[in-house]
Amino acid sequence: MENLKNLVVQLDKSDCRFVIVGGFGVAALGCSLLTRNLEMACDMSPENLSRAWQALEQLHPVHRMTPARLPFTREQAESGTLKNLYLATDLGQIDLLGEIKGIGSFEECLKNSEPVVIDGAATRILTLDALILAKRAMGRPKDLHAVLELEVIRERRQRNSTMS
């Protein structure tokens, strides 16, 4: 998880526009589930992907879903044709996604996010309710397990807010 935090910091320094949406976000909200990659809704514009490329360049990003594991290049970032990116870097795997099932586009994710600070990086994460929607929409067993934990966290928060 420490390396994933470092990825967040690198992207934040580059002013890349993103919202943390996957297992890392679930863990940040207090779930016990572990994750090995960083999933984020991302502004997939050429300008923003160029900032992402600059942040990741020193980490040797490669396309992890291709057998040849070809490098992610500046030209690809600036092409304007990418909808999703599945990369492996020296710090771990990162998914830059143009749309999140159950929520929608990057802009919708941005509307359904809240600010958080991760190792000094001011970034955004899907809200608890939005993470529940996204995980439920994915429907995989690990996502449904995360929904159960997130619902317990939501119940505790509601209980604590009525007690204050």
Q: Check if the beta carbon of residue 112 is closer than 8 Å to that of residue 101.
A: no
pTM exceeds cut of 0.85 = yes
Pick the closest to residue 8 from 56, 69, 77, 62 (CA basis): 56
Tokens coding 52? 């992402």
Pick the closest to residue 41 from 23, 27, 24, 22 (CA basis): 22
Residue 164 pLDDT? 66
pLDDT (tens digit per residue) in 55-66: 999 999 999 998
Domains and CATH numbers, the chain: 2-158 (3.30.460)
Residue 30 pLDDT? 76
**Beta strand extents in 2-106 (DSSP E only):** 18-20, 37-42, 62-63, 84-89, 92-97, 99-100, 104-105
Q: Check if the beta carbon of residue 95 is closer than 8 Å to that of residue 37.
A: yes
**CA 22 to chain centroid:** 5
Q: How far apart are the first and last CA of the chain?
A: 33
How confident is the chain (164 residues) per 10-residue block, as mean pLDDT? Answer: 84 95 81 81 97 96 94 95 96 96 97 92 93 94 91 91 78
Residue 27 pLDDT? 80
